[in-house]
Amino acid sequence: MSTEWEAVIGLEVHAHLKTKTKMFCRCALEYGAGENTHTCPVCLAHPGALPVPNALAIEHTIKLGLALGCEISPHAIFARKNYFYPDLPKGYQISQYEQPLCGRGALTVPTPDGEDVVGITRAHLEEDAAKTVHAGGATGRSVGADYSLVDFNRGGTPLLEIVSEPDIRSADEADRFLRLLRQTIVELGVSDAEMEKGTMRADVNVSVRKRGETGFRPRWELKNMNSFTFIRRGIDAAVREQVAAYERGETLEQSTYDYDPDTDRLTVHRSKEEADDYRYFPEPDLVPVEPPAELVERLRAELGELPGSRIRRIEAEVGYELAYELVATGNEPKAVALVEHGVDWRAAANVAMNQPDFLLENAGALAKILQANVTRDALNAAFVAAGTGSIDVDEYLGQTAVSDESALEPAIDAVLAANPQQVETYRGGKEGVLGFLVGQVMKETGGKADPKVVNRLLREKLQA
Task: Based on the shown chain and the rule CB under 5 A, indicate whether residue 437 belongs to the binding site for Zn ion.
Answer: no
Where in 5-77 does DSSP place strands (E)? 5-16
Give me the least distance between CB of 363 and Zn ion, in Å please.
Answer: 44
Using the contact rule CB under 5 A, the part of the chain among 6-14, 17-25, 378-386, 419-427 near Zn ion is 17-25
Q: Which amino acid is at 25?
A: C
49 binds Zn ion (CB under 5 A): no
As beta bridge partners, residue 92 has: 82
Number of residues forming the site for Zn ion (CB under 5 A): 5
Q: What is the rounded distance in angstroms from the CA atom of residue 64 to the CA atom of residue 95?
A: 17
CB of 126 to Zn ion, least distance (A): 16
Q: Which stretch binds Zn ion (CB under 5 A): 21-29, 78-86, 237-245, 407-415?
A: 21-29
Q: Cβ(191)–Cβ(17) under 8 Å? A: yes
Q: Which stretch binds Zn ion (CB under 5 A): 35-43, 282-290, 293-301, 455-463?
A: 35-43
**Per CB under 5 A, 25 contacts Zn ion:** yes
Residue 92: enclosing H or E segment and its boundaries?
Answer: strand 92-96
Nearer to Zn ion, 48 or 292 (CB): 48
- Nearest to Zn ion of 95, 355 (CB atom): 95
User: Which residues are CB-neighbours of 33 under 8 A, at least 6 positions away?
Assistant: 153
CB of 26 to Zn ion, least distance (A): 7
Pairing of strands 255-260, 105-111: unpaired
343 closest CA partner among 364, 320, 374, 321 = 364
Exposed / middle / buried, residue 262 (Cβ in 10 Å: 0-12, 13-18, 19+): exposed
If phi over 0 gives left and psi between -120 and 50 gives alpha, with beta otherwise, what is residue 336? Answer: alpha
Smallest gap from residue 58 Cβ to Zn ion (A): 18
Q: Is 130 in the site for Zn ion (CB under 5 A)?
A: no
Nearer to Zn ion, 54 or 207 (CB): 54
Binding window for Zn ion (CB under 5 A); candidates: 41-49, 223-231, 241-249, 254-262: 41-49
Among 11, 17, 23, 27, binds Zn ion (CB under 5 A): 27
Strands (E), 316-439: none
Cβ atoms within 10 Å, residue 114 = 8
Q: Quick one: which segment of 34-42, 168-176, 256-264, 366-374 binds Zn ion (CB under 5 A)?
A: 34-42
Q: Does 43 bind Zn ion (CB under 5 A)?
A: yes
Shortest CB 43 distance to Zn ion, Å:
3
40 counts as binding Zn ion under rule CB under 5 A: yes
Q: Residue 157's closest CA among 31, 286, 333?
A: 31
User: Which residues in this chain contact Zn ion in the complex, by CB under 5 A?
Assistant: 25, 27, 40, 42-43
